[in-house]
Amino acid sequence: MTQSVMLDALDRRLVHALQLDGRAPFSRIAAVLGVPERTVTRRYHRLRSAMVVRVVGLVDSSRIGMLDWFVRVDCAPDAVDALIAVLAHRDDTSWVAALAGGSRLACMVRTPGAGAAGGRPFFEHLARTPGVRDMEASCVLRPVAGVGGWAGRTSALSKAEQARLRRLAALDDREVRQEAAGEPVDRGGPVDWDEADFRLVGELARDGRADVRRLAAATGWSASTVRRRIARLRATRMLHFEVDVDPAHFGSPIEALLWLEVAPSALGTVADALSHHAPVAFAAVTTGPASVFAMVQCRDTGVLYDYLARELSGLPGIGRTETALVQHRTKRAGPLLMPTPPAGRARRA
């Protein structure tokens, strides 16, 4: 539906600005881009309405006592579409995709931490689902690349423009930061949230640019409390904002998933290298035989070959490598994009 849309230079600059600060006012972005505010506003709403671009709020799972898993499922060919639809509509899944070949799919799942029941109820239910032949789940130990944006969508602004956007953000948000400074800063370990916090992040997951009045209505907090809470969550790196957009709109329609068996002694070197590789949209160290998982975006299969044969092959400690092409991505980082959003609040993610 959106594959025919290609982003022009201004669209890409807007996307880059939103990746740097997903809740930046359009007036601030316009000042950096050097265009009228109404032009920026109109561009974003056009892309948002066409379900091409949106901003989503994402929470660091480990900070709220949750675990992220990459799951591969082998199922009967006639069960793939139905299973993908079920997984995509769940609040606890993301990155749901059918893999080329007709009988495999992959997704990310968020479950309670190991101290609770862990992911056992979800995985047991999935294993008993009709049509599922086999499944493999790898727990994310640490993201090592792509948090903060794929390089393909963060190369449109100059370093000076990026610095100016950050400087304007610091000036504009000074009052909110001063209000938030009265709360203790917690940079590690799980954090207990009440129901209002889950409603807040649920709203931000659907629309990271939701206005404060809407967030106040969802949480029952005052507007100033909403601003303070978001500022604190961002300052402590518990909450960040991601631009949810198909890389095909940037001219990179080929998406490959890589599972790399890496010697423990080389994990640090490989992780650091992947964080600097332009085709890598996301990578993480995980449990399982393949200790590194990566998502790679390329212009065509020739570019993918060059990446595998040249850049990746030159890294030390990599043994067996498994590669799978994504046939189509049903769900990305945020909840499903719908022409008409369903009424009611999001359930707890």
Residue 338: both structure tokens together: 């719908």
Which whole-number Å values give the CA distances from 197 to 13, 44, 72, 274, 348, in the listed order?
32, 27, 31, 34, 10
Burial class (CB in 10 A: 0-12, 13-18, 19+), 154: middle
State which amino acid sits at residue 205. A
What is the sign of the dihedral through the CA atoms of 237, 203, 47 and 106? positive
Which whole-number Å values give the CA distances from 143 to 123, 126, 165, 170, 292, in the listed order?
22, 25, 26, 27, 10
| pLDDT on residue 150 | 79
Q: What domains does the chain contain, in order, with CATH numbers? A: 9-59+150-206+239-245 (no CATH), 61-144 (3.30.70.920), 251-331 (3.30.70.920)
Residue 121: both structure tokens together: 């109820």
- Residues 74, 76: Cα–Cα separation, whole Å: 7
- Residues 153, 44: Cα–Cα separation, whole Å: 15
Q: How many CB atoms lie within 10 A of CB 22?
A: 20
Residue 136: both structure tokens together: 């493999």
Strands (E) across 263-344 are located at 280-286, 292-298, 318-331
State which amino acid sits at residue 235. A
Angle of helix 159-172 relative to helix 9-20, nearest 10 degrees, comes to: 50
CA triple 225-230-236, angle to 5 deg = 125
- In b/e form, how buried is each residue of 32-66, taking b as 16+ CB within 10 angstroms? bbeeeeeebeebbeebeeebbbbbbbbbbbbbbbb
- What stretch of H or E contains 67? strand 66-75
| pLDDT on residue 5 | 67
| Mean pLDDT split into 10-residue runs, the chain, 349 residues | 70 94 95 96 93 91 87 94 92 92 92 71 90 94 85 86 89 52 50 80 93 95 93 86 90 95 95 94 94 96 96 93 94 63 34
Question: What is 117-170 written as a DSSP string?
Answer: TTTHHHHHHHHTSTTEEEEEEEEEEEEEE-TT--GGGS-SS-HHHHHHHHHHHH
- Residues 65, 277: Cα–Cα separation, whole Å: 30
Residue 277: both structure tokens together: 């590789």
- Residues 257, 274: Cα–Cα separation, whole Å: 13
- Residues 60, 69: Cα–Cα separation, whole Å: 13
